[in-house]
Structure 1
Amino acid sequence: MQARNAPHRPARIRRLLGLIGSFALLATAVPAHADTTTAHCRVIPKGQPAQATAGECSFSQRQGFVSIELANGTRIELAPDEQRAGVYKDAQGRLATRQRGLGSQGQIYKLQDQTIEVRWKAPAGSPAPKAAVVFDQTLTLQGVSFHVTAVRAGSGAGSGATQVRIQPSGLAITNAAQTLAVNADVVNAEVADLDVDGSPEVYVYLRGRTPEAPGQLLAFAANNRKSLSGIYLPALGNLPELLTGYRGRDEFAVVESRLERRFPVYRAGDALEAPGGGMRQISYRLERGEASWQLVVHRVSHY
Structure 2
Amino acid sequence: MNTKTTLLSIITILSTLGISSLTQAQTVNSRCDIYPRGEDRASNVVNCTFSQRQGFIRIQREDGISYELKPDGTNKYLDQNGVSVVRENEGPATIFRFSDESVYVYQNERAPASTTKKGETPENLYSTVPPALKDLVGARAGQAEGELQRRGYTYRNTQTFEGGKSAYYIENKSGYCVEVGTVDGRYSSIVYNSSDRCNPSN
Normalising by structure 1, report the TM-score. 0.28
Structure of higher CA gyration radius: 1
TM-score, length-scaled by structure 2: 0.41
Per chain length, whose mean CA-contact separation is higher, i.e. which structure has more relative contact order (CA < 8 Å, sep 6+)?
A: 2
Greater fraction helix: 2
Higher strand proportion:
1
